Amino acid sequence: MPELPEVETVVRAMDEALSGDFIASAALHREGLRTPFAKDLVRRLEGQRIEHVTRRAKYILAHLKSGDVFVLHLGMSGRVMIHAKGQHKNPEKHDHFVMVTKKNVQLVFRDPRRFGMAFVVHADELDSHPAFKKMGPEPLGNEFSGPVLADALKGRKSNIKVTLLDQRLVAGVGNIYACEALFCAGIDPETEAGKIKGAKAETLAACVKIVLKKAVAAGGTSFRDYRQANGELGYFQQQLAVYDKEGKACPGCTCDIAKTGGILRITQGGRSTFYCPRKQR
């Protein structure tokens, strides 16, 4: 499940492999993903020089010479594969978008569940585009801090776990890292969001940053579908404290698992939350 660290890993690989190169050909293998592809998508890509590749939240942004930005979102199961000259792969069943550069680098976008997105928007209209218009600050930037988080949480009645997933509040945090950040901060995921302020908000903001930075350094978390662009697994799953660890001991656990049941799994907003009821209160 690609969240910010997984997307960041892919973006770095794409920037390295594609910047300065030209899109020689681009091909769509179906009508659309979540939504139909724009009719002029291929036309606005072909022949363009890729200036650089960056990230905003969970979106991949390939900046083109024309001023257009090619936007990719990996959704749930999306994967970007980059193949060097001479190592191109034939498209498989779920390879919906394929492009080849002038230097013969092939990029394949695979997304079995098709929750992903691919569209082009001009750089001038990026911030006003519906995908980005109401988006909150980048969690790893200076614009995200304890006070900023506390202000965003103010008056919110819903629980902190579900609230952390709201992209208008802070951009790029998904289910895995919301669970991990709350464990790091020692906060019960059921806590009313609006009650987190002051030192607690400082701790939580810091934990969001710490968890995401560690995951980026590890190349992301390979849970089911995710791979790095070169096909390698991310390996942050080895460092996960609570996510998908129902019934197991959390890091530094001193309690008797047979009695306490270890890490608990609950459902919040239709999604799994994993936490330690003893360390998170």
| Active site (catalytic) residues | 2-3, 58, 271
Q: Which one of 73, 79, 83, 200 is in contact with DNA (CB under 7 A)? A: 73
From residue 180, give the alpha-carbon distance in Å to each of 16, 63, 231, 241, 249: 29, 32, 25, 6, 14
For residue 242, the tally of other CB atoms under 10 A from its CB is 26
Q: Kindly tell me which of 105 and 242 has the beta carbon lying closer to DNA.
A: 242
Q: Which one of 38, 42, 131, 253 is in contact with DNA (CB under 7 A)? A: 131
Q: CA 166, 171, 176: angle at the middle one, nearest 5?
A: 70
Asked whether position 228 contacts DNA by CB under 7 A, the answer is no
Q: Kindly tell me which of 20 and 269 has the beta carbon lying closer to DNA.
A: 269
Q: Residues in the chain, how many?
A: 281
Residues contacting residue 34 through CB under 8 Å, at least 6 positions apart: 75, 114, 115, 116, 117
Q: Which one of 158, 237, 239, 260 is in contact with DNA (CB under 7 A)? A: 158
Closest C-alpha among 25, 29, 121, 103 to residue 66:
121
CA 124 – CA 139 distance, rounded (Å) = 23
The two structure tokens encoding residue 145:
């801090």
Part of the chain binding DNA (CB under 7 A), chosen from 142-150, 157-165, 183-191, 210-218:
157-165
Part of the chain binding DNA (CB under 7 A), chosen from 41-49, 81-89, 173-181, 252-260:
173-181
Part of the chain binding DNA (CB under 7 A), chosen from 19-27, 43-51, 169-177, 253-261:
169-177
Taking CB atoms within 8 Å and a gap of at least 24, the contacts of 93-98 are 95/29, 96/28, 96/29, 96/30, 96/33, 97/26, 97/27, 97/28, 97/29, 98/26, 98/27, 98/29
- Of 178-197, binders to DNA (CB under 7 A) are 193
For residue 179, the tally of other CB atoms under 10 A from its CB is 28
Q: Kindly tell me which of 94 and 197 has the beta carbon lying closer to DNA.
A: 94
Asked whether position 31 contacts DNA by CB under 7 A, the answer is no
- Of 229-268, binders to DNA (CB under 7 A) are none
Q: Which one of 209, 218, 272, 278 is in contact with DNA (CB under 7 A)? A: 272
Q: Which one of 66, 88, 104, 112 is in contact with DNA (CB under 7 A)? A: 112
Residues contacting residue 29 through CB under 8 Å, at least 6 positions apart: 91, 95, 96, 97, 98
Q: Which one of 90, 128, 224, 258 is in contact with DNA (CB under 7 A)? A: 224
Q: Would you tell me which residues interact with DNA (CB under 7 A)?
A: 1-3, 34, 57-59, 73, 75-77, 93-94, 112-115, 130-131, 155-158, 162-163, 165, 167, 174-176, 193, 224, 269-272
